[in-house]
Amino acid sequence: MEELLDPGLGQVRVFLMHDDNKRRKLKYNLGHRRLLTFGGAYSHHIRAVAEAGRRHGIETIGVIRGEEHLPLNPSLAYAKACGMTLTYLDRASYRLKHTEEVQARLRARWGEDVAILPEGGSNAAAVRGCAELPGEIDVPYDVVCCPVGTGGTLAGISAGLPEGKRAIGFAVLKGAGFLAGEVARLQREAYARTWSNWTLNLDYHFGGYAKTTPALDGFIAKYRVEGVYVAKMLFGILDLARQGTFTPGTRVVAVVTGQPSTPVARWDAPTGFDSGEPR
């Protein structure tokens, strides 16, 4: 656990917990002979499922959004090297991938026994895996923050928090208000109940998924952090601290999600950051 040092934090302390949430989400999803899941051409989730399949002897199928492009990019080439079978869905069908009709077609092709894992890996089993995260925090804390793409990590963290602690999720998508309903739905599916100890912040998406602005680009360059998820969360935490949103003395754990190979900085920059208008 590292501490993020920045004068903009004032009396708020932020600790960085490096955690591969993709593996955590998969932990209770691997009890199948054949596993099918969805993702874009650069999906970390596709890579993680392929790697888990190779490691545990599970047949994996990756349904990729759009058309095949050769040569494969590094992400898909890695998935294929792990033994994953790659197939493709046109974008119109991909938007309907959760429907009974599309999933029936997939089962007809890949077998009725295939387990279908949603894009991003967020389901009830994933929530149970992510709920174990708070129990592994080894510093005193008040708040746990995480980036939010599909809601599974936030749903699990919230469910696993001790009494009196709270969670904040930073949405990386534009127009992501629907994710509040997703977090609650996932908690109900996993535990037949919901928790009220979490909030979803929608103000730091910087234009949408994988979108950026000059302010975010400068932040990423200064702190050398992954830009699609982690930078948006950390920018948000620092900005909220500068605004006085956190009570002085609050101790925040920021979950730095991603595979262990994700490059990160030492987080000891001597100066603050230039605040922009994240939209």
Q: Which residues are catalytic?
A: 43
Query: What whole-number distance in Å separates Cα of residue 202 and Cα of residue 233?
Result: 11
Bridge partners (DSSP) of residue 253 are: 15, 144
Query: What whole-number distance in Å separates Cα of residue 233 and Cα of residue 169?
Result: 8
DSSP annotation of 210:
T
Half-sphere exposure of 127 toward its Cβ, with a 13 Å CA cutoff?
26
Query: What whole-number distance in Å separates Cα of residue 45 and Cα of residue 8?
Result: 34
Query: What whole-number distance in Å separates Cα of residue 26 and Cα of residue 132?
Result: 13
Helix (H) or strand (E) holding 232: helix 230-242
